[in-house]
Amino acid sequence: MCGSISQPSSWRSVAAGLLMLALNVQAQVAPIAIKPRGSQLAGPAQEDRGEPDWQARMNNWQRDHAGSFEPWLQAMRDWRTQQLATLGYDDAQYRRADLLWTQRNFVQPQAMVEDRYLYDPLTRRYTPDRYLADLEQRYGGIDSVLLWPVYPNLGIDDRNQWDMLRDLPGGLPALRQLVKDFQSRGVRVLLPVLPWDNGSRDEGRPMPEAIAALLAEIGADGINGDTMDGLPLAYRKAADASGRALLLQPELSFKDDAMLAFNQQSWGYWDTPFVPMVSKWKWLEPRHLIHVSDRWATDRHNIMQAAFFNGAGIQSWENIWGWWNQFTPRDAEALRRIGNIYRAVPELISSPDWTPHLPTQHYGIYASRFDGGGRTLWTLVNRNTFALDEAIIKVAHQPGRRYFDLWRGVELSARVDGTEAVLSFEMEPLGYGAVLALDGGALPAELAAFLKMQRARASEPLSAYSAEWKPLPQTMLPIAPTAAASQAPSGMVEIPAGEFDFRVTGVEIEGENRPGMDVQYPWEALPRRAHLHRMAMQRFFIDRTPVTNEQFKAFIDAADYRPADAHNFLKAWSGRSLRPGEEQRPVTWVSIEDARAYCQWAGKRLPHEWEWQYAAQGSDGRLYPWGNQWLAAAAPAPANGRAMPPPAPVGTHPLGASPFGVEDMVGLVWQWTDEFADEHTRAAVLRGGSFYRPQGSHWYFPHAHKLGEHGKYLLMAPAKDRAGGIGFRCVVDAS
């Protein structure tokens, strides 16, 4: 018959049920494919099933994690065995006695050398004790520090990354002492290598050799590879040849799995879904320590829960290129307790017998188990936004075994059910838990002391600490007015009174428009990148051109000016003498302090930024001093070689004059204006850009040739702040 035969609806339901059962059975017996997602691996029942990303994220919470655990774990172990065999993996670097410390390097901040807690510009001394005391008080201290002396200022002139180290106040001897000071307090020290720095001065030797030799000279402990997806083997060889045992720590995930063998640490920019993912590198090599990082997160519970679940370290980075992103009190207290636990049982955190995604008794609670030396540690995270406290986890039990809640510092009473023990303890919303099992014997004294310490901390739950994040306020350094002049002094231009829209945006490469970015003018409630304010300008006078070498020479001779920090002072000169033919070039290699000293001697002052902009722009909002289109003849031709030539003489590009006749505002040299400071960072606003533009990377200090843009230049000390691309001009107040 050709026609269809109708079937009862009940039959169709049974058939559909049988079909679904068959599909489920097939899915259960199908082999689990382990497919890394970057540097992470999916947990039980979280494997990629070919759905679109949005659907996988939406549906994964419905999957049966506990029922899938055993086949998933076996697949994970098989995958690891195969991967290591394929790599011909050799763990020799992880067995090195001189690098075993890398497996206990749990908490590491990246510290800007400009941070006022690390360097005091008034006493001109490094202050590591103040820096460490602050971190100890707020989140329990650190194990290592990554000192950062380069980006974002690198590229202001042709100094390379090694020059920026040498130009730190006191030079390499002072840096060597700073390293010793940290190490004497139990803190290891890393410094970065920037592979993209190929447009500044040629160091004359390969980067691996340059960084290894420099770190050996100052006695540092490791290399952080900025933007690097693994430090190549050449860095391992150069480090060993230097005679200094150096940790290799790339910022990004390895591009080649073989790099795991000689990069003992790495950073983790991880996805943090509701169901935690597993670190690929730690699964392959449990002694490899990852520092999980999210520099822009103002709520860090996701990265800290991901780290704690994996037994990974945490990058406690707060000063991000001068933007202060402090841990909230809640996150800081959580970090303190995590660090305490890690340091109490470090050998378990790096144990080769690590089992992630051990089944728990509650949806939303995820656990890892670390075994070793007759002890077992479970780290747990509560991904729910509500608390749980009953029958959290069921574990294998044997007579005489004791269980200790390391998070709260108390011994647990287990409910024993045959060969299993059910453990109950409180887990706060978005909270943490840690349990240590010991097989009989007296409680070790160090463990008893640790429990007492944790018990004291746990008297206040995490919920008692504020989770509110606030940007750090800034203040602008006052500029004292000058004696009023009735007419323009020699070499100066009158700027008439008027109104204009002071509209300016910071050109920082990173940070978007987060609260706290860029600077905060006196009329603003908080720092931010983009600014607009209607200004009523009083009449004033401004130098027609930047201050020249000849003018500055007259000052240092007349005033016998000798800065206390003289490193790099007038570096382009021959000592305190001018080279012939250099008289009319703008003076450079002067700090903002040097510029202020000259202005004061001359009866002048540095301009406020809005004064500089008004003198360059007038009131019509033009993009450049001469109009709205770039005019090549109005500014010096750009130089982009690895060696920076001297700037052109002032006054040689009259087509670049502003509506008021002020010259060389754009494209000759950057010019000092206002200084801003918050509790941790000083910075100066630079205007006008310069003619020097190192090539090869967008990470170099960006230019701001448009009149609605400014550069934020981090300040530390004159030795480092002085640059071949920065000059200045002065103003005088009018009667």
Region 490-503: what's the mean pLDDT?
Answer: 98
Question: In this structure, what token pair is assigned to residue 604?
Answer: 């002048």
Q: 29-83 pLDDT, tens per residue?
A: 567 889 999 999 999 988 766 667 666 655 666 666 667 899 999 999 999 999 9
Q: 212-257 pLDDT, tens per residue?
A: 999 999 999 999 999 999 999 999 999 999 999 999 999 999 999 9
Residue 1: band (very low, low, confident or very high) from pLDDT cuts 50, 70, 90: very low
* Rounded-to-integer distance, Cα 45 and Cα 62, Å: 9
Average pLDDT, the chain: 94
Q: 279-305 pLDDT, tens per residue?
A: 999 999 999 999 999 999 999 999 999
Q: 158-188 pLDDT, tens per residue?
A: 999 999 999 999 999 999 999 999 999 999 9
- The radius of gyration of the chain from alpha carbons, rounded to an integer in Å, stands at 31
Q: Is the pLDDT of residue 334 over 50?
A: yes
Which has the closest alpha carbon to 200: 149, 240, 164? 164
Q: Is the pLDDT of residue 2 over 70?
A: no
What is the structure's pLDDT at 6?
37
pTM above 0.85, yes or no: yes
How much of the chain exceeds pLDDT 70, in percent? 93
> What is the identity of the amino acid at 723?
A
What is the structure's pLDDT at 462?
97
Cβ proximity of 502 and 535 under 8 Å: yes
Q: Is the pLDDT of residue 22 over 90?
A: no
Region 452-464: what's the mean pLDDT?
Answer: 96
Which has the closest alpha carbon to 263: 39, 93, 103? 93
Q: 385-394 pLDDT, tens per residue?
A: 999 999 999 9
* Rounded-to-integer distance, Cα 156 and Cα 163, Å: 12
Region 629-637: what's the mean pLDDT?
Answer: 97
More confident residue, 76 or 17: 76
What is the structure's pLDDT at 245?
96
Alpha helices in 459-608 (DSSP H): 549-559, 592-601
Q: Is the pLDDT of residue 309 over 90?
A: yes
* Rounded-to-integer distance, Cα 726 and Cα 157, Å: 9
What is the structure's pLDDT at 31?
78
Domains (range + CATH), the chain: 93-264 (3.20.20.80), 478-733 (3.90.1580.10)
Q: 399-421 pLDDT, tens per residue?
A: 999 999 999 999 999 999 899 99
What is the structure's pLDDT at 442?
85
Beta strands (DSSP E) in 117-186 are 119-120, 125-126, 144-148
* Rounded-to-integer distance, Cα 257 and Cα 271, Å: 19
More confident residue, 46 or 331: 331
